[in-house]
Amino acid sequence: MTEKTFVYLNRKAPYGSVYALESLEVVLIGAAFEQNVKLIFIDDGVYQLTKGQKTDGIGMKNFSPTFSALGDYDVNQIYVDEQSLKDRGLTMDDLQALTYEDEDDDWAEKNSMHLVNREQIAELIGDADVLLNF
Amino acid sequence: MKFSIQVNEGPYTHQAADTAYQFTKAALENGHEIFRVFFYHDGVNNGTMYGVPPQDDRNVQSLWSELAEQHELDLVVCVAAAQRRGIMDEDESKRHGKGASNIAPGFRISGLGQLIEAGIESDRLMVFGD
What is the mean predicted confidence (pLDDT) over A21-27? 95
Domains in chain A: boundaries: 5-133
Point out the residue among B81, B120, B125 whose CB comes nearest to the CB of A1. Answer: B120
The C-alpha of B96 sits at a distance from chain A's nearest C-alpha, in angstroms, of 21
Provide, as residue numbers in chain A, all residues whose Cβ is less than 8 Å from the Cβ of B115. Answer: 26, 30
Q: How far is the C-alpha of B82 from the C-alpha of A111, rounded, in Å? A: 35
C-alpha neighbours within 13 Å on the C-beta side of residue A114: 15
Instruction: List B2's β-bridge partners, or say none.
Output: B33
Q: Is the pLDDT of residue A1 over 90?
A: no
Low-confidence ranges of chain B (pLDDT < 50): none
| Residue B37 appears among annotated catalytic residues | no
**Could you tell me if A16 lies within 8 Å of chain B, comparing CB atoms?**
no
**Distance of CA A86 to CAs A13, A38, A92, Å?**
16, 22, 10
Rg (CA), chain B: 14
| Residue B130, pLDDT score | 77
CA proximity to A70, closest of A79, A62, A78, A82:
A78
Q: B2-128, superfamily in CATH?
A: DsrEFH-like (3.40.1260.10)
In this prediction, residue B81 carries a pLDDT of 96
Is the CB of residue A32 less than 8 Å away from at least one CB of chain B? yes
Say if the Cβ atoms of B116 and A129 lie within 8 Å: no
CATH fold for domain A5-133: Hypothetical Protein Ychn; Chain: A, (3.40.1260)
Report the alpha-carbon distance of residue A92 to residue B59 in Å, rounded: 48
Measure the CA–CA gap between B17 and B4, rounded to whole angstroms.
14
Model pLDDT, residue B110: 97
Q: What is the mean pLDDT of residues A34-54?
A: 97
CB pairs under 8 A between A and B: 46
- The answer to whether residue A120 scores a pLDDT higher than 90 is yes
Closest-CA distance of chain B to residue A37, Å: 11
Which pTM value belongs to this model? 0.91
C-alpha torsion A72→B76→A18→B54, nearest 10: 180
Give the single-character DSSP code of A127: T
pLDDT digits 0-9 by tens, A60-102? 999 999 999 999 999 999 999 999 999 999 999 999 999 999 9
Please give the pLDDT value at position A50.
Answer: 98
Q: Where are the domains of chain B?
A: 2-128
d(CA A77, CA A25): 17
Residues 6+ apart with CB under 8 A from B79: B92, B109, B110, B111
| pLDDT confidence bin for A2, thresholds 50/70/90 | confident
